[in-house]
Amino acid sequence: MTERVLSFTGLARAVREELGQAHRYAHVVRVARLAERLAMRHGEDPEKARLAGLLHDLARLYPPARLIAECERRGMPLTVFERANPIVLHARLGAELARERFGIEDPAILSAIRTHTVPAPGMSRLDEILHIADGVEPGRHYPERDAIENLAFQDLDAAMLRVILATVAYLRSTGAEVAPQTFAALAAYQTLAAEPLTFPAVAERSPACPT
């Protein structure tokens, strides 16, 4: 890839230093590995998937005020939902950091990073792969995790639907607000399902990466 200026080992080291937390770094490595495997299974570029996984959480540890400030400094428009729930901004801001600090210019990689937290209709296969990998990487612990991971190797659309359902169920259980785009994505993936699915029992997500 032309925009990769470091070897993957060098890039991983730089990401580890950027994150500054072993726990978060272990998470992004697990996501990168799973995303790479999913990409290979579904005929997508495994290197792009691995890079997106490694870089997807660059802004995840920023506090809410910094997330808003960094987005505003870049002239990024913010929705009412994002201002009320700034944690979701780490995805969009993370794509900007991947471009600015790591030289990533590939639109497919940047799109996957932007959409890894809040799904939306019309996601690309690489978008779906990263979103799923982030949701079911082995460091997470909730009842459906293994089943959804296995399903993802067979049917990305079906796995996306199950990830979204589990996420909405979890957010509702905590009283957290669900992004409007999530409901739009849910409706879109429901139309692709062979059978109608209902919300699963409330899932306990790992504290490793709650979003």
Cβ contacts of residue 135 below 8 Å, gap of 6+? Answer: 148, 163, 166, 167
Q: Would you give the DSSP letter of residue 14?
A: H
Catalogue all structural domains in the chain, each as residue range(s) with its CATH number: 8-190 (1.10.3210.10)
Gyration radius (Cα) of the chain, Å: 16
Q: Which pLDDT does position 79 carry in this prediction?
A: 97
Cβ contacts of residue 69 below 8 Å, gap of 6+? Answer: none
Q: Mean pLDDT, consecutive 10-residue segments, the chain of 211 residues?
A: 58 93 96 98 97 98 98 98 97 98 96 97 97 96 92 96 93 93 94 62 40 56
Q: Which pLDDT does position 192 carry in this prediction?
A: 83
Instruction: Look up residue 185 and give its two tokens.
Output: 């994505």
Q: Which pLDDT does position 195 carry in this prediction?
A: 54
Q: Would you give the DSSP letter of residue 87?
A: G
Q: Which pLDDT does position 8 carry in this prediction?
A: 74
Distance CA 4, CA 106 (A): 10
Q: Are 36 and 46 in contact (CB under 8 A)?
A: yes
Return the half-sphere exposure (C-beta side, CA atoms, 13 A cut-off) of residue 179. 22
Q: Any idea how long the chain is? A: 211
Cβ contacts of residue 102 below 8 Å, gap of 6+? Answer: 5, 6, 11, 14, 15, 55
Distance CA 139, CA 55 (A): 17
